[in-house]
Structure 1
Amino acid sequence: MNKRLKGKTILITGASGGLGERIAYFSAAEGAEVILAARSDSRLKTVQKKITSEFGAACRTLVLDVSRTEEIEAAFKTAGPVDILVNNAGFGIFETAIEASLEDMKSMFEVNVFGLIACTKMALPHMIAQNSGHIINIASQAGKISTPKSGLYAATKHAVLGFSNSLRMELADTGVNVTTVNPGPIKTDFFKTADQNGDYEESIGKWMLTPDKVAQKVVSAMMTNKREINLPSWMNGVSKLYQLFPSIVEKVGRGAFYKK
């Protein structure tokens, strides 16, 4: 039992399925009150019912489309103060820069970047006032190493890492922690949108992370000063190597990078 979470209020965006749903389950199991935020009221209610029946935990739902930044302030007023914010909502589309539409580009930035920043701004004043809190931003290994056909998605995750790193320094004299989560591919519905022909998911299936593994790592880090969670370790190793020897990694990894 993570005693740090007992009685804490945790708001999770993108909580109607996938990684967000699993983070909600594990948080509730630790005695936290969970606020589930996503676009689909019916799916949120289904997750809420599972949580309350299995754990008897306090659980609320909040219908929120984070791409509509004008709705976020009202949503957070409804939610009230939160101790932990998990910015999990996000999506990707795997297309080359020339093939990708400007509409898709705009949508990815609205959800993955602008929505994340807006939610963070709404949660921070209470956290700073109480000198305690935690912002957890779900980024990606794509934010550390870009590959073909994921340039726009990677750009949004680079932005999340840049924002998070700056925010961490800005909050250094407060009791508010900032953690970025940088997973590789996870077995969720993400790829139904990102990889519609299924080729990429099929080619890397054996390497994909389970949502439970990532969620457990996230929940275990809550209310700590953990800087980053990087999964899997071998992929993070490649990302580190890329920072030192980008040309070599691009040449050696060319075959793998073009599996999308």
Structure 2
Amino acid sequence: MNPNLKDRLVIITGASSGIGEKMAYEVAKSGGHLILLARRKARLAEIAKAIEERYNVRCHYYELDVRHLGNVEQTFQHILNEHDRIDVLVNNAGFGLFRSFEEASLDEMEAMFEVNVYGMMACTKYVLQKMLNQQSGHIINIASQAGKMATPKSSLYAATKHAVLGFTNSLRLEVADRSVFVTAVNPGPIQTEFFDVADTSGQYVQNVQKWMLRAEDVAEKVVRIMLTNKRELNFPWWMETGSIVYRIMPNVFERLAKKAFHKK
């Protein structure tokens, strides 16, 4: 629960499943109103109906594939015309593929950057000016521990999440004195549909199953920090500790963790 969200408007991309869906329910529990964006319109309709009936808040939804920037512009222009203010944007849409760079195709590279980076930036672009004008707002970008600690078979995914972190950190500095908060969320592996695409062999999930985060727990932590000036949210703690050691002693860490890194 987050009392700051009472009667506030929260936009969530990638809201049809996983932590996007779970965050929507957590926002509604706190009395916040919602705009849900994702490719699966029928699924969004089900979630919106359940939220409105259960929590008595408004929950709008729009079909959107953030890969297509023209559609992003059209959707957000409609949202901006329909709503006087936007309090929180959660850039949650994203996907990954766990395979070596040698095996990955240029089409896969393009798609991953279009969704994870360009789509995230475009959504931010269309709400930022409104937040600056209203002198309040919070942009939350779902990045990853992969943006801090790269591993084999995730070169493209790690590159996109490094980009998300770089963008987030720069934007935070740009708007630091203008009452808009910018937060990066860096989780480890989460039990969601993400791995249906990322890990088609099931090998990675099998190797890390006992350490995977619950989507409900991640969503609760993210919603709890909405409309607070939180720089980063990192979990689990042991993985964040590993990423800190990695940045301080990369050569040593890579030698010691080499075997673990290849468990994809």
- Are the equivalent residues in 2 in contact too, given 1:94–1:149 (CA < 8 A)? yes
Query: Once the 2 structures are TM-superposed, how far is the Cα of residue 238 of structure 1 from its aligned partner?
Result: 0.2
The superposition leaves residues 9-33 of structure 1 with CA deviations (integer Å, 9 ceiling, x where unpaired) of 1000000000100010000110111
**Structure 1-normalised TM-score?**
0.99
Query: Once the 2 structures are TM-superposed, how far is the Cα of residue 2 of structure 1 from its aligned partner?
Result: 2.2
For residues 239 and 177 of structure 2, the distance between their equivalents in structure 1, rounded to whole angstroms, comes to: 33
The corresponding residue for 1:212 is: 216
Which of residues 163, 171, 176 is equivalent to 2:175? 171
For residues 220 and 3 of structure 2, the distance between their equivalents in structure 1, rounded to whole angstroms, comes to: 15
The corresponding residue for 1:5 is: 5
The superposition leaves residues 198-226 of structure 1 with CA deviations (integer Å, 9 ceiling, x where unpaired) of 00001100000001111011001000000
Query: Once the 2 structures are TM-superposed, how far is the Cα of residue 172 of structure 1 from its aligned partner?
Result: 1.1
1:182 paired with 2:195, answer no
The superposition leaves residues 153-210 of structure 1 with CA deviations (integer Å, 9 ceiling, x where unpaired) of 0000000000000000000111100000000000000000000010000110000000
The corresponding residue for 1:124 is: 128
The corresponding residue for 1:38 is: 38
Determine helix, strand or coil for the equivalent of 1:62: strand
Any stretches of 5+ residues in structure 2 without a counterpart? none
Which of residues 86, 89, 93 is equivalent to 2:90? 86
- Are the equivalent residues in 2 in contact too, given 1:62–1:79 (CA < 8 A)? no
1:222 paired with 2:226, answer yes
Greater alpha carbon shift after TM alignment, 48-57 vs 179-188: 48-57
Q: Quote the sequence identity (%).
A: 53
The corresponding residue for 1:63 is: 63
Cα-Cα RMSD: 0.7
Any stretches of 5+ residues in structure 1 without a counterpart? none
Instruction: Give the length in aligned residue pairs.
Output: 260
Determine helix, strand or coil for the equivalent of 1:249: helix
1:238 paired with 2:234, answer no
**Structure 2-normalised TM-score?**
0.97
For residues 49 and 4 of structure 2, the distance between their equivalents in structure 1, rounded to whole angstroms, comes to: 24
1:53 paired with 2:53, answer yes
The corresponding residue for 1:200 is: 204
Point out 4+ residue stretches in structure 1 off by more than 2 angstroms.
none
For residues 159 and 195 of structure 2, the distance between their equivalents in structure 1, rounded to whole angstroms, comes to: 18
Greater alpha carbon shift after TM alignment, 163-172 vs 77-86: 77-86
